[in-house]
Structure formats: structure tokens, C-alpha cells
Amino acid sequence: MAFCNPSSASLRNSSWRKLRRLGIAIISVTAGLCAIIQPALAQDIGVVRDTEIERVLQSYEQPLLVAAGIDPNTVKIFLIQDSSINAFATQSPIDSDAEDIFVNTGTLMQLTTPNQIIGILAHETGHIAGGHIVRGEDAMRKASIPMLIGLVVGIAAMIAGAGQAGEAAMMLGEQAAMSQYLAFSRVQEATADQMGQKFLLATHQSGDGMVQVFEKFANEDAMSGYYNKDFVSDHPADRDRIDLLQREADASPYKNKPDSPEIVHEFHMIQAKLAGYLSKPDMVLTRYPLTDQSPEAHYARAMAYFRQPDLPKALDETNALIKTDPTNPYFWEVLGQIQVDRSKPMLGVPAYQKAVDLLPSAPLIRIDLAAAQLATESPAFTKKAIENLKIGLDQENNNTFGWYELAQAYSDDNNTPMADLATAELHYQVGDMVGAVHFAGVAQHSLPKGSTDWQHANDIVAAAGPQMKQRREQ
């Protein structure tokens, strides 16, 4: 796993926890010590889904991927709810053969220019282009060997009565493994820096943003106890790294190229949206007081009031926002969401419909439109909701909320076989292979044999059956 924040103790500990988990997993299989060694629990990651923010980040990332010779359609960006500045590239949670980029919400809220965000993404693109993720996993496995030896020797010594000697052996094993892995990681980070600068040059963008971000990390690190401890630094030495990056940025003919006014405004809008959604309302109103009538302020207050919830005020701010730009689909999306939360889905439907008309290729918005249509409980909307859900799920097949709504829609339409099929897909997407096989089998009995939907059910059984059997055996 490649971290953009090079010296954060929490991230370093996270990398080390992953290495420890890998080592412990090997120990438990090879030495039968799972009862003695307690594995650390994996941390939960809260993903924030928002069409507007995801598309802004993708617009930053796509030119970099093209410059790297990577198909832009193969790399997705996920937003993680975390207040710290950080981003990392790792194996995709959706496609095991692909790699994706994860960006903390704190990165967007704390950095000040789009070029800084683009610099971080360029660095992470360097990790993907360099094949660091696959090699990083291999490095972790190799680095775990000294730790395993230390653990085995240490436990044997402790059983024999040499408690302190056993603990020392275990500690030395951990230190050797950590040193070996982090030395590998430092090389990767330096390579990702250079590749990122290369991609920025190829896309005619300044490299200063990347330098500014790492300068910020270095300044924060200088006040911590980790600053001069190269042994536990999983990135190159801060000053050397920044000096090299600065030379690369200074040599670029695009060094002083500013972000366009359009991209700056877009960035400020998503910052305001995130601040309104994630920050405490009083903090939002301090940063965006009622006297501020800019689009950014309306956006932030609309989201803050929505979360409070103070839906009448949220509605007023959103209507004011729409007046600034009636062609913005995301403003209409917010209006639709507010109306649904006000238990007025009949008013939410036209707002969502306007958003879909303005942005037909957004599956999240289309699925929310369908959910609003179903919430009206009007039979006139049932088939329209089914059609919208089918389009949305065709664009984003792993959307579990969409499959849930589709099962409900087919049930409302008295189409039980298709409701069972949608339920089977829902169970498959959440990893419940028993439920997936059950509902797919039920659907198969009622669907016309050989039809597309019958084949869909058959495919679910074929995919889920072996996984279900494997889990039972485990």
C-alpha cells in the first residue's frame, strides 16, 4: 500500500499493522500458533459517495493516466471519510485485477489549490504505473520472514522459561522485518515522485503543487519525534525528497502555470459541499456566514442545514443556489434529496428528474430518482423506476442500494421472478453467496428457460456456488 503522506505516524503504523497481519496469518498456517498470536483487526474504511466530487477528481486524474499509458476506465477514485491529508493507491475493492486510488476528505478540505490535489494524484499514478502495488505485496511477504523467525524463536524461548530473551528475539524479528520493508518502500516513493512529475510535465501542469504538499508534510514532521528516524520512515528523507522535487518542478516550462478560474471555482464548490456535509453547523456558519451570498456559501449552508437537520433552511439555501446556475445538475440533486427527506417524494421526483436530464450518465443520481419514484407509492411511477434502475445498474453494477430498490420495484409491479433475481444479485454483491444461490435458484424455476434473465440467474449460481462451497469447507 502506497501512502502519499510520507511521515505520518498513524499511516506508518497502518502500513506496519498490515505487515504484522500478513506475518501473523503465515504463522497461524505454518506453525499452528493462532491461539498464541492475536491478529490485529482490519480498520473499517468509510467511503463517501458523491457524483460531483468523484467526477471532479476523475477529471484531474484522467489526463495523468493517459500520460502514463493507462486506460482511464480501469482506475476509479474513492473518497474516504477521514479528516487527515492522505491518499493511497491499492488493489481495487471491485476488480481484483485493477488498482484504484483512495483520497481522504481531509485532503480536499485542507489543501488550498487544485494543483496540490493533482500533484498528489500524479504521485499515486506513479505508484500504479510503476507496478508498486503488486511488488509491494511481494515485499511484505519477503519482509515478514525475519519477523516469523523472531516470533518462533521468541515463543520457544518463552515456553522454555527465558521470558525476556524470548521477548527480545520477537522484537528483533519485528525490527528486521520493518527495516527491510521500509527500505523497499522508500525506493518506491522516490520513483513515484519522479514519475508523477513526468506525468505533470506531459499534461502541461505545474509540479509545484506536489512540492507544496510534501513541504507541508515536512514542516509538520519537524515538530514530531519521528522526524530524524530514518529507520521508521517509509519514504525518502524529507529534505532530500523536497529538494529533488523542487528541482524537477523548477525545470518545467509550466512551473508558473496557474489553475484556470473555472477549475478553481469548481474546487471551491466541492470544498464547500464537503465542509457543509462533514463539519459542525456552527463551524460552517463561521466560515460561510449568512452575509456571504456566494455560490460556495449557499452550497455549504445548504449541506449544513440538511445535515442538522433544518430542512426549511436547507431548502431556502438550495433554491438560492439554483438561481445562481439553473443548469447545474448537482444543485437539482440536492433539492431532490431535501424534498425526499421532507417526506415529500412527489416534489423530489421532478428535481431528481431535472438532474438526470442534465446529466444522464450519472448512475447514483438516476438510482436516487428511482428511489424517489418508488417512495411516492404511485403505480404510475413503478415501471419508470424499474427502467431508471436498470439503466443505473448497467452503469454501476455493484450498487447494492440499486439492487435493493430494483427488487422492491419488481415486487410492487407483481413480478416475483424478477424480484427474486434482483434479490439474488443483491445478495451476491454483498457477499452472501448462500442467499445469492437460493434466490437465483428460485428465480430460475419461474423465468423462461433460455431467456436473458434466466441466463443471468444461471450465471449467479455458477459464480456463487463454488464460493459458497469453498467458504463452507473453510
The DSSP secondary structure of 321-381, one letter per residue, reads HHHH-TT-HHHHHHHHHHHHHTT-HHHHHHHHHHHHHH-TT-HHHHHHHHHHHHHTT-GGG
Angle of the 114-129 helix axis to the 51-67 helix axis, nearest 10: 50
Q: Residue 176: its pLDDT value, please?
A: 46
Q: Residue 227: its pLDDT value, please?
A: 36
Output phi, psi for 461, to 5 deg. -60, -45
| pTM listed for this prediction | 0.77
What gap in Å lies between CA 324 and CA 335, rounded to an integer?
A: 14
What gap in Å lies between CA 432 and CA 305, rounded to an integer?
A: 37
Q: Would you say residue 289 lies in a domain?
A: no
HSE-up (13 A, CA, CB side) for residue 64: 32
Q: Residue 253: its pLDDT value, please?
A: 97
What gap in Å lies between CA 95 and CA 72, rounded to an integer?
A: 14
| Four-point Cα dihedral 423, 428, 430, 434, nearest 10 | 90
For 343: left if phi > 0, alpha if psi spans -120 to 50, otherwise beta; the answer is left
Q: How far is CA 383 from the centre of its chain?
A: 33
In the structure grid, which three cell numbers stand for residue 100, read together?
484504484
Q: Would you say residue 411 lies in a domain?
A: no
Number of domains in the chain: 1
Q: Would you say residue 85 lies in a domain?
A: yes
Angle of the 295-307 helix axis to the 329-341 helix axis, nearest 10: 20
Q: Residue 210: its pLDDT value, please?
A: 93
**Kind and range of the H or E run holding 58:** helix 51-67
Q: Residue 158: its pLDDT value, please?
A: 44
What is the residue range of 12's domain?
A: 2-251
What gap in Å lies between CA 347 and CA 165, rounded to an integer?
A: 72
Burial class (CB in 10 A: 0-12, 13-18, 19+), 339: buried
Q: Residue 393: its pLDDT value, please?
A: 97
Each of the 474 residues of the chain gets a pLDDT tens digit; together they read 222 333 333 333 333 333 333 333 323 232 222 222 222 223 446 888 999 999 999 999 999 999 999 999 999 999 999 888 888 888 777 776 778 899 999 999 999 999 999 999 999 999 899 886 654 454 444 434 444 444 444 444 444 544 454 454 445 444 544 444 344 456 678 888 899 999 999 999 999 999 999 888 776 654 444 333 333 344 444 677 888 889 999 999 999 999 999 999 999 999 999 999 999 999 999 999 999 999 999 999 999 999 999 999 999 999 999 999 999 999 999 999 999 999 999 999 999 999 999 999 999 999 999 999 999 999 999 999 999 999 999 999 989 999 999 999 999 999 999 999 999 999 999 889 999 999 999 999 999 999 999 999 999 999 987 877 776 665
Dihedral of alpha carbons 258, 262, 268, 270, sign: negative
Q: Residue 89: its pLDDT value, please?
A: 85
Q: Would you say residue 81 lies in a domain?
A: yes
Q: Would you say residue 144 lies in a domain?
A: yes
